[in-house]
Structure 1
Amino acid sequence: MTDIQIPFGWNSYQSCSKSSCNEVDIEESGISGWRDSNVIISLFFYVAIAGVYDLSIVSENIYREAELLVTIPSIQYSHIAKFNTDNLNLSLGSVHIENSGYVKVNFQGTKSLINRKAGKYPKLKALILSNIENKSAISFVEDSFSSHFGRRGPSVHLRYNLQSKKNIKYFFNEVTVPKNMDAIGTYAMAIGFGQGYFGMQVNSNTERRILFSVWSPQKTDDPKTISAENEIKLLAKGKKTITKSFGNEGSGGQSYLVYPWVTGVAYQFKLVGYPTQDGYSVFSAYFKDPTKFEDYILIASWKRPKIQTYLTGLYSFLENFEPEKGNISRKVYFNNQKAYNNKGKKVNVLSTTFTYDETATKQQRYDYDGGVDNVNGYNLRNCGFFDKTQIKTGETFTKNQ
């Protein structure tokens, strides 16, 4: 038998029971700065084996006596946790988890007590599951892993398998995000290649982007350190395209169009790549909204030094870049892929290969999925703590031609 501590700083998210709340701080040290009784803290963990589990809380910084309502909606469990300054570890009793899958535990401060006495709610450190027979039956984002990437959730990818990889100059893809699958932090990346990526993002409640980036050959996360000979050069851009350098994930040239794309529309992406005679390669990205304009519009055209290549390593991915939104599921469809070589000959896309990132590889999160159907095309799904699927990295999906 063993006890397992599930850290709040790696595995919890906040929501609000009314239109707005005073936010709390979710840090690696735990939950702090919590005053608002309308804030709900939700902690997630995965149970592989059904059974009875004993729960308790590790807390610190008890500013005053306090009460928290603890609920597990999926099993109709509720408990009032009563804190005082001498009680840092607090038992929540036993729960019977009948099915394998993700469990969500909600914590909410009681209104009555906070109205009687000012002060913060206790700092929550960890939820303890006691007397566990099989430690591997419980999964969560561990404190030995990055809380940033763990809370973001797994990224999932599709690599396109072409009839031929030789001299691919043009690649086309259609991207559709279904209704209610466009949470803040979503990046539905349509066309990735050996030197960059091109797709659409949800950046805030009011802003969305069509993004195209090309990496510099100089390996650095600081764009200010890139030498002149390694700079990505802008050749052309669309009238409303914003261009600048980027860093923190390699560095290079970034271009984006602020554009109010919506769910349910199959937006069209075209990427062109080819070598030049002066030792560079040119990569140009075009975007089409079939509901607004008849032809593709240019996002940007970048010239990359120290390489002469056509398009290589073509792929798509679905990512959440906002850790605070890793509890919200998202999905995307990729359809009607087309490729042409430098002679204008069509090259068939035969299939895709599914992969995922380190968050899934190290079994920190299981909320990832992918597949194919002959109407909507290939699909990817991630985040939201949905039921574990049987899809494994390296699995191949084939769409009927």
Structure 2
Amino acid sequence: MTDIKVSFGWNSYQTCSAQQCSNASILEQGVSYWQDSNIIISLFFYVAVAGAYDISLLSTEVQRSAELQVTIPTISYRYFAKFNTDSLNLSLGTIQIKYPGYYQVNFQGTNSLVNRKTGYYPQLNSLILSGSQNQNAIYFVNDSFSSYYGRRGPSCHFTYNLESKTNIQQFFNEVTVPKYWDAVGTYAMAIGFDYGYFGMQVNSESERKILFSVWSPQSTDDPSQISADNTVILVSKGNNTVINSFGGEGSGGQSYLVYPWVAGVSYQFKLVGQPSTNGYSVFSAYFKDPTKSQDYILIASWKRPKTQSYLSGLYSFIENFNPEKGHISRKAYFNHQKAIDYRNKEVKVLSAYFTYDVTADKKQRFDYDGGVDNVKGFYLRNCGFFNKTNVQYGDTFIKNK
């Protein structure tokens, strides 16, 4: 028999809303400092092999006697776990899993008299599943992987196949995030290219942005280390565009417009790129809100040094950049792609092929999807622990017009 230990620090989220409860602390060590009975901690894992599993809860600190309600909604499982100060490993019985897929286990303090004493609820460290002979029966974000990227969830991408890749000067894309699929942390990246990326973000409950960034040719995550001859230079910007440098994932020039874009509306993006003088190339990003105007507005125009290039490596992606929100699904449609070369001749966009990041590649998360809708366009979906789809890395999709 194999004991499979699913760590809370890599695989759990607080799933009640901020209006209902205070916050627990979810760190790599586990879940701690929670005493509000409205808090729900949800742990997620993927079961590849159906069967009966004995489950137990491992804690490293129990300050006081307490009761936790443990539920697995999809299999109608409910258990009251009674912790005493000397019970760090508590059996929760046996669960029968009939179908492979993602399972969510919820933990919530009860309102019993024993729980009204002072102190925090027991620290949640690991859920242990026993009973399988197969070491690959359960998949989850394991301790050897990044808890930050694992809890963020997988990113997935479409790379566009063009009839010709030579001297593409302009690229157009339309992005629609459907209603109710715009969780905080969403980045629907409309036009990525070899030297930067351009799209729209949900930064908080009250702020959204249209973001355009261009990488420096110098390889560093620290923008203060970029030499003068490797610095991306601002050429021009829109009236309300904010200009910054950025780091942490390479470094370069960042520009963004705080803009209240709305889920369900199809926004249009235009990127222009071409060689300039003195070894620079100029890349300019434009955005259109069809509910406000039929004209594009400039976000920013940047000069990238040591570069003589038109647009290349054109792609789109969807990601979640907030690790506390990796349990919520996102979706975006990408439609009406158009490419124009330096002679002002339209170049056909033939197809899009699907890829994903290391989180999916290492089988840490399976909640990713991509495909095509002949009306709405190519679509990408990620996060939310939905059951694994049939899309494969490298699958190619063609939109029938």
Q: For the Cα contact (< 8 Å) 1:18–1:38, is it kept in 2?
A: no
Q: Would you say how many aligned residue pairs link Structure 1 and Structure 2?
A: 401
Deviation of residue 211 (structure 1)? 0.2
Structure 1 runs not aligned, ≥5 long: none
**Residue 209 (structure 2) aligns with:** 209
Provide the C-alpha distance between the structure 2 equivalents of 1:385 and 1:113, rounded to a whole number of angstroms: 35
Deviations 1:330-380 (A, max 9, x none): 100000000000000000000001000000000000000000021001000
- CA-atom RMSD, angstroms? 0.9
Matched, 1:10 2:10: yes
Deviations 1:206-240 (A, max 9, x none): 00000000000011111011111111100000000
Provide the C-alpha distance between the structure 2 equivalents of 1:257 and 1:43, rounded to a whole number of angstroms: 36
Instruction: Report SS of the residue matched to 2:271.
Output: strand
Provide the C-alpha distance between the structure 1 equivalents of 2:180 and 2:206, rounded to a whole number of angstroms: 16
**Residue 397 (structure 2) aligns with:** 397
**Residue 315 (structure 1) aligns with:** 315
Deviations 1:43-75 (A, max 9, x none): 000011221111001101110001100000001
Deviation of residue 16 (structure 1)? 2.3
Q: For the Cα contact (< 8 Å) 2:67–2:112, is it kept in 1?
A: no
Deviations 1:85-138 (A, max 9, x none): 111000000011111100000000012246531110111110000122112121
Matched, 1:42 2:42: yes
Provide the C-alpha distance between the structure 2 equivalents of 1:113 and 1:323, rounded to a whole number of angstroms: 34
Provide the C-alpha distance between the structure 2 equivalents of 1:17 and 1:223, rounded to a whole number of angstroms: 36
Instruction: Report SS of the residue matched to 1:173.
Output: strand
For residue 194 of structure 1, what is the amino acid of its counterpart? Answer: D
**Residue 120 (structure 1) aligns with:** 120
**Residue 351 (structure 2) aligns with:** 351
Query: 4+ residue runs of structure 1 moved beyond 4 angstroms?
Result: none
Deviation of residue 17 (structure 1)? 6.7
**Residue 251 (structure 1) aligns with:** 251
Matched, 1:27 2:55: no
Deviation of residue 4 (structure 1)? 0.5
For residue 138 of structure 1, what is the amino acid of its counterpart? Answer: I
Structure 2 runs not aligned, ≥5 long: none
Instruction: Report SS of the residue matched to 2:148.
Output: helix
Instruction: Report SS of the residue matched to 2:136.
Output: helix
**Residue 294 (structure 2) aligns with:** 294
For residue 44 of structure 1, what is the amino acid of its counterpart? Answer: F
Instruction: Report SS of the residue matched to 1:60.
Output: coil
For residue 361 of structure 1, what is the amino acid of its counterpart? Answer: D
Q: For the Cα contact (< 8 Å) 2:244–2:253, is it kept in 1?
A: yes
Provide the C-alpha distance between the structure 2 equivalents of 1:372 and 1:285, rounded to a whole number of angstroms: 26
Aligned-pair identity in percent equals: 68
Instruction: Report SS of the residue matched to 1:135.
Output: coil
**Residue 284 (structure 2) aligns with:** 284
Provide the C-alpha distance between the structure 1 equivalents of 2:70 and 2:35, rounded to a whole number of angstroms: 16
For residue 9 of structure 1, what is the amino acid of its counterpart? Answer: G
TM-score normalized with structure 2 length: 0.99
Q: For the Cα contact (< 8 Å) 2:202–2:209, is it kept in 1?
A: yes
**Residue 157 (structure 1) aligns with:** 157
Deviations 1:228-255 (A, max 9, x none): 1111100000000000100001000000
Deviation of residue 18 (structure 1)? 7.7
Instruction: Report SS of the residue matched to 1:224.
Output: helix
TM-score normalized with structure 1 length: 0.99
Deviation of residue 15 (structure 1)? 2.3
Provide the C-alpha distance between the structure 1 equivalents of 2:277 and 2:16, rounded to a whole number of angstroms: 58
Q: For the Cα contact (< 8 Å) 2:52–2:131, is it kept in 1?
A: no
Instruction: Report SS of the residue matched to 1:360.
Output: helix
For residue 94 of structure 1, what is the amino acid of its counterpart? Answer: T
Matched, 1:60 2:56: no
Q: For the Cα contact (< 8 Å) 1:66–1:113, is it kept in 2?
A: no
